[in-house]
Amino acid sequence: MGEQVQTPAAKIKKKKRDTAFTRVMKYTGVRLIALFLTVAIGVYLTIMIANMGGYVDEIMKGSIRENITMQLRMDDGYQEMAPEAKAAYLLAKIENEEKRLGLDEPFIFRSFRFLLNALKLDLGQATFMSSDKGSRSVRLIILERLPSTLLLMGTANLVLFFVTIVVALILSRKYGSFWDRFFVAASPLSAMPSWFYGIFFILIFAAVLKIFPFGGMIGSPPPETTGQYILDVLYHLTLPAAALIISAFPARVYNWRTFFMIYSSEDYVEMAKAKGLSAKRIRNRYILRPTLPMIITSFSLMIIAMWTGAIITETVFRWPGIGRLIFRAIGMNDTAVIVGTTIIYAYMLAATVFFLDFIYALVDPRVKIGGSKQKQ
Protein backbone atom coordinates (compact mmCIF):
# COMPACT_ATOMS: atom_id res chain seq x y z
CA MET A 1 0.00 0.00 0.00
CA GLY A 2 1.58 3.28 1.08
CA GLU A 3 2.32 5.14 -2.12
CA GLN A 4 0.19 2.75 -4.06
CA VAL A 5 -2.94 4.28 -2.61
CA GLN A 6 -4.98 5.90 -5.32
CA THR A 7 -7.77 8.33 -4.97
CA PRO A 8 -11.14 6.67 -5.49
CA ALA A 9 -11.69 8.72 -8.62
CA ALA A 10 -8.42 7.55 -10.17
CA LYS A 11 -9.29 3.97 -9.31
CA ILE A 12 -12.62 4.22 -11.00
CA LYS A 13 -10.98 5.79 -14.01
CA LYS A 14 -8.43 2.99 -14.28
CA LYS A 15 -11.09 0.37 -13.89
CA LYS A 16 -13.14 2.06 -16.55
CA ARG A 17 -10.23 2.01 -18.98
CA ASP A 18 -9.54 -1.66 -18.28
CA THR A 19 -13.11 -2.65 -18.88
CA ALA A 20 -13.21 -0.58 -22.04
CA PHE A 21 -10.13 -2.40 -23.31
CA THR A 22 -11.42 -5.88 -22.50
CA ARG A 23 -14.80 -4.91 -23.91
CA VAL A 24 -13.25 -3.92 -27.24
CA MET A 25 -11.01 -7.01 -27.32
CA LYS A 26 -13.89 -9.33 -26.55
CA TYR A 27 -16.03 -7.68 -29.15
CA THR A 28 -13.23 -7.90 -31.72
CA GLY A 29 -12.67 -11.61 -31.05
CA VAL A 30 -16.33 -12.56 -31.25
CA ARG A 31 -16.81 -10.44 -34.34
CA LEU A 32 -13.83 -11.96 -36.16
CA ILE A 33 -15.00 -15.51 -35.47
CA ALA A 34 -18.53 -14.69 -36.60
CA LEU A 35 -17.32 -13.03 -39.79
CA PHE A 36 -14.98 -15.93 -40.54
CA LEU A 37 -17.82 -18.42 -40.17
CA THR A 38 -19.99 -16.27 -42.44
CA VAL A 39 -17.27 -16.22 -45.07
CA ALA A 40 -16.79 -19.99 -44.76
CA ILE A 41 -20.50 -20.69 -45.17
CA GLY A 42 -20.75 -18.28 -48.10
CA VAL A 43 -17.79 -19.82 -49.88
CA TYR A 44 -19.00 -23.35 -49.23
CA LEU A 45 -22.36 -22.49 -50.74
CA THR A 46 -20.52 -21.05 -53.75
CA ILE A 47 -18.54 -24.29 -54.09
CA MET A 48 -21.72 -26.34 -53.94
CA ILE A 49 -23.51 -24.14 -56.46
CA ALA A 50 -20.57 -23.83 -58.85
CA ASN A 51 -20.25 -27.63 -58.82
CA MET A 52 -24.02 -28.00 -59.06
CA GLY A 53 -23.88 -30.08 -55.90
CA GLY A 54 -21.46 -32.53 -57.48
CA TYR A 55 -23.16 -32.83 -60.82
CA VAL A 56 -20.24 -31.09 -62.52
CA ASP A 57 -18.23 -34.20 -61.62
CA GLU A 58 -20.62 -36.33 -63.64
CA ILE A 59 -20.35 -33.97 -66.57
CA MET A 60 -16.59 -34.10 -66.38
CA LYS A 61 -16.54 -37.87 -66.11
CA GLY A 62 -18.73 -38.04 -69.18
CA SER A 63 -16.49 -35.77 -71.17
CA ILE A 64 -13.37 -37.67 -70.07
CA ARG A 65 -14.87 -40.92 -71.29
CA GLU A 66 -15.83 -39.35 -74.58
CA ASN A 67 -12.43 -37.73 -75.11
CA ILE A 68 -10.51 -40.88 -74.35
CA THR A 69 -12.73 -42.97 -76.57
CA MET A 70 -12.17 -40.49 -79.38
CA GLN A 71 -8.42 -40.50 -78.79
CA LEU A 72 -8.21 -44.26 -78.84
CA ARG A 73 -10.19 -44.49 -82.03
CA MET A 74 -7.26 -42.79 -83.76
CA ASP A 75 -4.80 -45.10 -82.01
CA ASP A 76 -3.75 -47.92 -84.36
CA GLY A 77 -2.16 -50.00 -81.60
CA TYR A 78 -5.41 -49.89 -79.66
CA GLN A 79 -7.44 -50.95 -82.63
CA GLU A 80 -5.37 -54.11 -83.01
CA MET A 81 -5.96 -55.28 -79.43
CA ALA A 82 -8.29 -58.12 -78.43
CA PRO A 83 -11.78 -56.91 -77.40
CA GLU A 84 -11.32 -57.76 -73.68
CA ALA A 85 -7.96 -56.09 -73.57
CA LYS A 86 -9.47 -53.12 -75.35
CA ALA A 87 -12.15 -52.64 -72.68
CA ALA A 88 -9.65 -53.06 -69.84
CA TYR A 89 -7.26 -50.56 -71.44
CA LEU A 90 -10.05 -48.05 -71.92
CA LEU A 91 -11.19 -48.38 -68.32
CA ALA A 92 -7.64 -48.05 -67.02
CA LYS A 93 -7.10 -44.91 -69.07
CA ILE A 94 -10.36 -43.38 -67.88
CA GLU A 95 -9.58 -44.24 -64.26
CA ASN A 96 -6.13 -42.76 -64.61
CA GLU A 97 -7.50 -39.50 -65.99
CA GLU A 98 -10.21 -39.32 -63.31
CA LYS A 99 -7.56 -39.85 -60.66
CA ARG A 100 -5.44 -37.09 -62.14
CA LEU A 101 -8.36 -34.68 -61.78
CA GLY A 102 -9.24 -36.05 -58.34
CA LEU A 103 -12.59 -37.34 -59.46
CA ASP A 104 -12.09 -40.74 -57.83
CA GLU A 105 -12.84 -39.28 -54.42
CA PRO A 106 -16.46 -38.57 -53.44
CA PHE A 107 -17.47 -34.95 -54.09
CA ILE A 108 -18.43 -34.28 -50.47
CA PHE A 109 -14.81 -34.85 -49.33
CA ARG A 110 -13.43 -32.78 -52.12
CA SER A 111 -15.87 -29.95 -51.43
CA PHE A 112 -14.39 -29.55 -47.96
CA ARG A 113 -10.88 -29.67 -49.31
CA PHE A 114 -11.85 -26.97 -51.82
CA LEU A 115 -13.23 -24.93 -48.93
CA LEU A 116 -10.08 -25.32 -46.87
CA ASN A 117 -7.86 -24.34 -49.79
CA ALA A 118 -10.08 -21.39 -50.62
CA LEU A 119 -10.01 -20.15 -47.04
CA LYS A 120 -6.22 -20.40 -47.12
CA LEU A 121 -6.34 -18.33 -50.32
CA ASP A 122 -4.75 -21.25 -52.18
CA LEU A 123 -6.76 -20.72 -55.33
CA GLY A 124 -5.37 -23.70 -57.22
CA GLN A 125 -5.45 -24.46 -60.91
CA ALA A 126 -8.17 -23.80 -63.43
CA THR A 127 -9.61 -26.84 -65.17
CA PHE A 128 -10.17 -25.39 -68.60
CA MET A 129 -9.25 -21.73 -68.62
CA SER A 130 -5.82 -20.23 -68.82
CA SER A 131 -4.35 -16.75 -68.64
CA ASP A 132 -3.30 -14.96 -71.80
CA LYS A 133 0.24 -15.99 -71.03
CA GLY A 134 -0.86 -19.61 -70.84
CA SER A 135 -0.80 -20.16 -67.09
CA ARG A 136 -3.48 -22.29 -65.43
CA SER A 137 -2.96 -20.71 -62.04
CA VAL A 138 -6.23 -19.12 -60.94
CA ARG A 139 -4.30 -16.44 -59.06
CA LEU A 140 -2.50 -15.40 -62.24
CA ILE A 141 -5.69 -15.53 -64.30
CA ILE A 142 -7.44 -13.20 -61.85
CA LEU A 143 -4.47 -10.87 -61.44
CA GLU A 144 -4.22 -10.50 -65.20
CA ARG A 145 -7.84 -9.31 -65.42
CA LEU A 146 -7.86 -7.18 -62.31
CA PRO A 147 -6.33 -3.92 -63.63
CA SER A 148 -8.79 -3.53 -66.48
CA THR A 149 -11.77 -4.15 -64.20
CA LEU A 150 -10.45 -1.71 -61.62
CA LEU A 151 -9.95 0.88 -64.33
CA LEU A 152 -13.51 0.57 -65.65
CA MET A 153 -15.33 0.10 -62.37
CA GLY A 154 -13.11 2.57 -60.54
CA THR A 155 -13.73 5.33 -63.05
CA ALA A 156 -17.47 4.71 -63.18
CA ASN A 157 -18.01 4.24 -59.45
CA LEU A 158 -15.87 7.12 -58.24
CA VAL A 159 -17.49 9.52 -60.68
CA LEU A 160 -20.92 8.20 -59.71
CA PHE A 161 -20.25 8.41 -55.99
CA PHE A 162 -18.94 11.96 -55.80
CA VAL A 163 -21.04 13.52 -58.53
CA THR A 164 -24.30 12.05 -57.25
CA ILE A 165 -23.59 13.22 -53.69
CA VAL A 166 -22.82 16.76 -54.84
CA VAL A 167 -25.87 16.89 -57.11
CA ALA A 168 -28.06 15.39 -54.38
CA LEU A 169 -26.85 17.93 -51.82
CA ILE A 170 -27.77 20.75 -54.17
CA LEU A 171 -31.15 19.23 -54.99
CA SER A 172 -31.98 18.52 -51.35
CA ARG A 173 -32.06 22.26 -50.78
CA LYS A 174 -34.24 22.91 -53.80
CA TYR A 175 -37.20 20.68 -53.17
CA GLY A 176 -39.74 20.92 -55.95
CA SER A 177 -37.44 22.74 -58.36
CA PHE A 178 -37.23 21.72 -62.01
CA TRP A 179 -34.11 19.59 -61.62
CA ASP A 180 -35.45 18.02 -58.45
CA ARG A 181 -38.60 16.91 -60.22
CA PHE A 182 -36.52 15.87 -63.22
CA PHE A 183 -34.44 13.42 -61.21
CA VAL A 184 -37.43 12.09 -59.34
CA ALA A 185 -39.15 11.45 -62.66
CA ALA A 186 -35.99 10.02 -64.28
CA SER A 187 -35.09 7.64 -61.46
CA PRO A 188 -37.06 4.69 -62.92
CA LEU A 189 -34.71 4.87 -65.91
CA SER A 190 -32.15 3.21 -63.67
CA ALA A 191 -34.29 0.09 -63.80
CA MET A 192 -32.67 -0.53 -67.15
CA PRO A 193 -29.33 -2.22 -66.53
CA SER A 194 -26.10 -0.67 -67.69
CA TRP A 195 -25.55 -3.20 -70.47
CA PHE A 196 -28.87 -2.15 -71.94
CA TYR A 197 -27.59 1.41 -72.19
CA GLY A 198 -24.35 -0.13 -73.46
CA ILE A 199 -26.08 -1.77 -76.41
CA PHE A 200 -27.75 1.52 -77.29
CA PHE A 201 -24.51 3.43 -76.98
CA ILE A 202 -22.75 0.95 -79.22
CA LEU A 203 -25.54 1.32 -81.72
CA ILE A 204 -25.55 5.10 -81.69
CA PHE A 205 -21.93 6.06 -81.13
CA ALA A 206 -20.13 3.13 -82.73
CA ALA A 207 -22.40 1.86 -85.47
CA VAL A 208 -24.14 5.04 -86.64
CA LEU A 209 -21.95 7.96 -85.65
CA LYS A 210 -18.70 5.95 -85.73
CA ILE A 211 -17.02 8.16 -83.12
CA PHE A 212 -16.32 5.45 -80.54
CA PRO A 213 -15.14 1.85 -80.89
CA PHE A 214 -17.50 -1.10 -80.58
CA GLY A 215 -15.61 -2.62 -77.71
CA GLY A 216 -12.32 -3.90 -76.42
CA MET A 217 -9.80 -2.06 -74.34
CA ILE A 218 -7.12 -1.20 -76.86
CA GLY A 219 -7.00 -0.70 -80.60
CA SER A 220 -5.27 -3.13 -82.90
CA PRO A 221 -2.37 -2.82 -83.46
CA PRO A 222 -1.65 -1.23 -80.04
CA PRO A 223 -0.16 2.28 -80.18
CA GLU A 224 3.56 2.44 -79.62
CA THR A 225 4.14 5.33 -77.22
CA THR A 226 2.82 5.27 -73.66
CA GLY A 227 0.98 8.55 -74.15
CA GLN A 228 -0.92 7.28 -77.14
CA TYR A 229 -1.57 4.00 -75.34
CA ILE A 230 -3.22 5.82 -72.42
CA LEU A 231 -5.30 7.95 -74.79
CA ASP A 232 -6.42 4.87 -76.69
CA VAL A 233 -7.47 3.10 -73.48
CA LEU A 234 -9.44 6.19 -72.41
CA TYR A 235 -11.04 6.26 -75.85
CA HIS A 236 -12.16 2.67 -75.41
CA LEU A 237 -13.17 3.33 -71.81
CA THR A 238 -15.63 6.12 -72.62
CA LEU A 239 -18.64 4.11 -73.76
CA PRO A 240 -18.65 1.36 -71.11
CA ALA A 241 -17.96 3.85 -68.32
CA ALA A 242 -20.71 6.14 -69.62
CA ALA A 243 -23.14 3.23 -69.72
CA LEU A 244 -22.35 2.31 -66.13
CA ILE A 245 -22.59 5.90 -64.92
CA ILE A 246 -25.71 6.94 -66.79
CA SER A 247 -27.72 3.86 -65.92
CA ALA A 248 -27.15 4.28 -62.18
CA PHE A 249 -27.12 8.06 -62.05
CA PRO A 250 -30.79 9.09 -61.68
CA ALA A 251 -31.65 6.52 -59.01
CA ARG A 252 -28.52 7.32 -57.03
CA VAL A 253 -29.25 11.03 -57.12
CA TYR A 254 -32.84 10.36 -56.09
CA ASN A 255 -31.65 8.15 -53.27
CA TRP A 256 -29.10 10.55 -51.85
CA ARG A 257 -31.33 13.57 -52.36
CA THR A 258 -34.10 11.95 -50.29
CA PHE A 259 -31.53 10.90 -47.73
CA PHE A 260 -30.14 14.42 -47.40
CA MET A 261 -33.61 15.91 -47.34
CA ILE A 262 -34.54 13.75 -44.38
CA TYR A 263 -31.41 14.82 -42.55
CA SER A 264 -31.89 18.47 -43.54
CA SER A 265 -35.25 18.54 -41.82
CA GLU A 266 -33.74 17.61 -38.49
CA ASP A 267 -34.42 20.12 -35.73
CA TYR A 268 -30.73 20.82 -35.26
CA VAL A 269 -30.39 21.94 -38.88
CA GLU A 270 -33.15 24.50 -38.41
CA MET A 271 -31.52 25.51 -35.16
CA ALA A 272 -28.22 26.00 -36.98
CA LYS A 273 -30.04 28.21 -39.47
CA ALA A 274 -31.59 30.23 -36.65
CA LYS A 275 -28.13 30.61 -35.15
CA GLY A 276 -27.11 32.50 -38.27
CA LEU A 277 -24.63 29.93 -39.57
CA SER A 278 -23.69 30.09 -43.22
CA ALA A 279 -25.14 27.56 -45.67
CA LYS A 280 -21.69 26.03 -46.13
CA ARG A 281 -21.15 25.57 -42.42
CA ILE A 282 -24.59 24.05 -42.01
CA ARG A 283 -23.90 21.66 -44.86
CA ASN A 284 -20.54 20.54 -43.51
CA ARG A 285 -21.23 20.38 -39.79
CA TYR A 286 -24.96 19.77 -39.55
CA ILE A 287 -25.77 17.65 -42.60
CA LEU A 288 -22.61 15.87 -43.76
CA ARG A 289 -21.05 15.33 -40.36
CA PRO A 290 -24.01 13.45 -38.80
CA THR A 291 -24.48 11.41 -41.97
CA LEU A 292 -20.80 10.52 -42.30
CA PRO A 293 -21.21 6.90 -41.11
CA MET A 294 -23.69 6.23 -43.89
CA ILE A 295 -21.55 7.95 -46.50
CA ILE A 296 -18.48 5.96 -45.44
CA THR A 297 -20.44 2.71 -45.57
CA SER A 298 -21.67 3.47 -49.02
CA PHE A 299 -18.18 4.41 -50.14
CA SER A 300 -16.47 1.30 -48.81
CA LEU A 301 -19.11 -1.04 -50.21
CA MET A 302 -18.66 0.69 -53.54
CA ILE A 303 -14.89 0.18 -53.37
CA ILE A 304 -15.20 -3.58 -52.88
CA ALA A 305 -18.01 -3.84 -55.40
CA MET A 306 -15.48 -2.77 -58.03
CA TRP A 307 -13.77 -6.11 -57.55
CA THR A 308 -16.44 -8.29 -59.14
CA GLY A 309 -16.69 -6.14 -62.21
CA ALA A 310 -19.81 -5.70 -64.29
CA ILE A 311 -20.46 -9.13 -65.73
CA ILE A 312 -22.76 -8.32 -68.64
CA THR A 313 -21.53 -4.82 -69.40
CA GLU A 314 -17.97 -6.10 -69.72
CA THR A 315 -19.21 -8.87 -71.98
CA VAL A 316 -21.19 -6.47 -74.17
CA PHE A 317 -18.16 -4.22 -74.58
CA ARG A 318 -15.68 -7.12 -74.76
CA TRP A 319 -13.84 -5.50 -71.87
CA PRO A 320 -11.19 -7.93 -70.61
CA GLY A 321 -12.13 -7.74 -66.93
CA ILE A 322 -13.10 -9.94 -64.02
CA GLY A 323 -16.79 -9.75 -64.91
CA ARG A 324 -16.19 -11.31 -68.27
CA LEU A 325 -13.88 -13.85 -66.66
CA ILE A 326 -16.66 -14.93 -64.28
CA PHE A 327 -19.09 -15.06 -67.17
CA ARG A 328 -16.83 -17.38 -69.10
CA ALA A 329 -15.97 -19.46 -66.05
CA ILE A 330 -19.64 -20.08 -65.36
CA GLY A 331 -20.19 -21.04 -68.98
CA MET A 332 -17.30 -23.51 -68.87
CA ASN A 333 -18.06 -24.89 -65.39
CA ASP A 334 -14.58 -23.88 -64.29
CA THR A 335 -15.30 -24.00 -60.60
CA ALA A 336 -11.81 -23.05 -59.43
CA VAL A 337 -12.08 -19.65 -61.12
CA ILE A 338 -15.60 -19.00 -59.80
CA VAL A 339 -14.63 -19.95 -56.25
CA GLY A 340 -11.40 -17.96 -56.52
CA THR A 341 -13.15 -14.70 -57.37
CA THR A 342 -15.80 -15.34 -54.73
CA ILE A 343 -13.43 -16.00 -51.86
CA ILE A 344 -11.48 -12.82 -52.50
CA TYR A 345 -14.69 -10.80 -52.60
CA ALA A 346 -15.96 -12.51 -49.45
CA TYR A 347 -12.78 -11.73 -47.54
CA MET A 348 -12.81 -8.12 -48.66
CA LEU A 349 -16.45 -7.74 -47.68
CA ALA A 350 -15.83 -9.27 -44.27
CA ALA A 351 -12.81 -7.06 -43.65
CA THR A 352 -14.80 -3.98 -44.69
CA VAL A 353 -17.68 -4.83 -42.39
CA PHE A 354 -15.21 -5.45 -39.58
CA PHE A 355 -13.39 -2.15 -39.95
CA LEU A 356 -16.58 -0.16 -40.54
CA ASP A 357 -17.66 -0.90 -36.98
CA PHE A 358 -14.51 0.76 -35.70
CA ILE A 359 -14.85 3.66 -38.10
CA TYR A 360 -18.42 4.24 -36.89
CA ALA A 361 -17.16 4.43 -33.34
CA LEU A 362 -14.56 6.98 -34.42
CA VAL A 363 -16.86 9.29 -36.37
CA ASP A 364 -20.04 8.96 -34.32
CA PRO A 365 -19.86 9.53 -30.55
CA ARG A 366 -23.14 7.68 -30.09
CA VAL A 367 -21.59 4.43 -31.26
CA LYS A 368 -19.60 2.51 -28.69
CA ILE A 369 -17.80 -0.66 -29.68
CA GLY A 370 -19.33 -3.62 -27.91
CA GLY A 371 -21.29 -1.25 -25.71
CA SER A 372 -24.69 -2.19 -24.43
CA LYS A 373 -27.55 -0.41 -26.08
CA GLN A 374 -28.26 2.51 -23.83
CA LYS A 375 -30.28 5.51 -24.68
CA GLN A 376 -30.76 8.43 -22.40
Partner 1 sequence: MTKKEVLLKIENLNLHFKIRVGDVRAVDGVNFELYKNEAVVILGESGCGKTSLAKAILRLLPNNVKTYDGKVTLKGVETMEMDDELYRNEIRWNKISMVPQSAMTSLNPVLKVGNQVAEPLTIKGMDKKEALEKVREMFKHVGVPEDFINRYAFELSGGMTQRVAIAMALITVPDLIILDEPTSALDVLTQANIMNLLKRIKKEEDASYMLVTHDIATSSELADRVIVMYAGQIIEASEAELFFKKPLHPYSKKLMASVPKLRGTDELEFIEGKPPSLIGIDKVAGCRFAPRCAYKMEKCEVEAPPVYIKGDNKVKCWLYENKDEVD
Of 277 and 353, nearer to partner 1 (C-beta) is: 277
**Selected binder of partner 1 within 285, 318, 328, 368 (CB under 8 A):** 285
Of 235 and 268, nearer to partner 1 (C-beta) is: 268
| Cβ–Cβ < 8 Å for 256, 294 | no
Q: What kind and span of H or E run contains 47?
A: helix 8-50
Question: Smallest distance from the beta carbon of 175 to partner 1, in angstroms?
Answer: 5
Of 305 and 359, nearer to partner 1 (C-beta) is: 359
Q: How far apart are CA 207 and CA 203, in angstroms?
A: 5
Contact between 281 and partner 1 per CB under 8 A: yes
Question: Smallest distance from the beta carbon of 162 to partner 1, in angstroms?
Answer: 22
User: At 137, phi and psi to the nearest 5?
Assistant: -65, 125
Of 133 and 375, nearer to partner 1 (C-beta) is: 375
Of 182 and 200, nearer to partner 1 (C-beta) is: 182
Long-range contacts of 3-11 (CB under 8 A, 24+ apart): none
Listed ranges 13-21, 92-100, 182-190, 276-284: which one lies at the site for partner 1 (CB under 8 A)? 276-284
Q: How far apart are CA 124 and CA 338, in angstroms?
A: 12
Quick one: 2 exposed, middle or buried, by C-beta within 10 A (0-12, 13-18, 19+)?
exposed
Contact between 66 and partner 1 per CB under 8 A: no
Contact between 271 and partner 1 per CB under 8 A: yes
Q: How far apart are CA 237 and CA 153, in angstroms?
A: 10
Contact between 375 and partner 1 per CB under 8 A: yes
Of 67 and 278, nearer to partner 1 (C-beta) is: 278
What residues contact residue 316 under an 8 Å CB cut-off, 6+ apart?
195, 198, 199, 202, 215, 240
Contact between 305 and partner 1 per CB under 8 A: no
Q: How far apart are CA 303 and CA 298, in angstroms?
A: 9
Contact between 357 and partner 1 per CB under 8 A: no
Listed ranges 14-22, 24-32, 106-114, 283-291: which one lies at the site for partner 1 (CB under 8 A)? 283-291
**Selected binder of partner 1 within 32, 278, 355, 371 (CB under 8 A):** 278
> Which of these, 197, 299, 288, lies nearest to 249 by C-alpha position?
197
Quick one: 370 exposed, middle or buried, by C-beta within 10 A (0-12, 13-18, 19+)?
middle
Question: Smallest distance from the beta carbon of 297 to partner 1, in angstroms?
Answer: 15
> Which of these, 217, 61, 215, 231, lies nearest to 148 by C-alpha position?
217
**Selected binder of partner 1 within 4, 220, 372, 376 (CB under 8 A):** 376
Question: Smallest distance from the beta carbon of 286 to partner 1, in angstroms?
Answer: 6
Q: Per-residue DSSP letters for 244-280? A: HHHHHHHHHHHHHHHHHHHHHTSHHHHHHHHTT--HH
Listed ranges 64-72, 82-90, 194-202, 268-276: which one lies at the site for partner 1 (CB under 8 A)? 268-276
* DSSP-assigned beta bridge partners for residue 125: 137
Sign of CA dihedral 283, 289, 291, 297: positive
Listed ranges 106-114, 135-143, 194-202, 262-270: which one lies at the site for partner 1 (CB under 8 A)? 262-270
* DSSP-assigned beta bridge partners for residue 137: 125
Question: Smallest distance from the beta carbon of 9 to partner 1, in angstroms?
Answer: 13
Looking at residues 173 to 192 of the shown chain, list those that interact with partner 1 (rule: CB under 8 A). Answer: 174-176
Question: Smallest distance from the beta carbon of 273 to partner 1, in angstroms?
Answer: 6
Contact between 208 and partner 1 per CB under 8 A: no
* DSSP-assigned beta bridge partners for residue 32: none
**Selected binder of partner 1 within 47, 272, 306, 322 (CB under 8 A):** 272
**Selected binder of partner 1 within 290, 297, 311, 356 (CB under 8 A):** 290
How many residues bind partner 1 (CB under 8 A)? The answer is 27
Q: Which residues bind partner 1 (CB under 8 A)?
A: 174-176, 266-268, 270-278, 281, 285-286, 289-290, 292, 363-366, 375-376
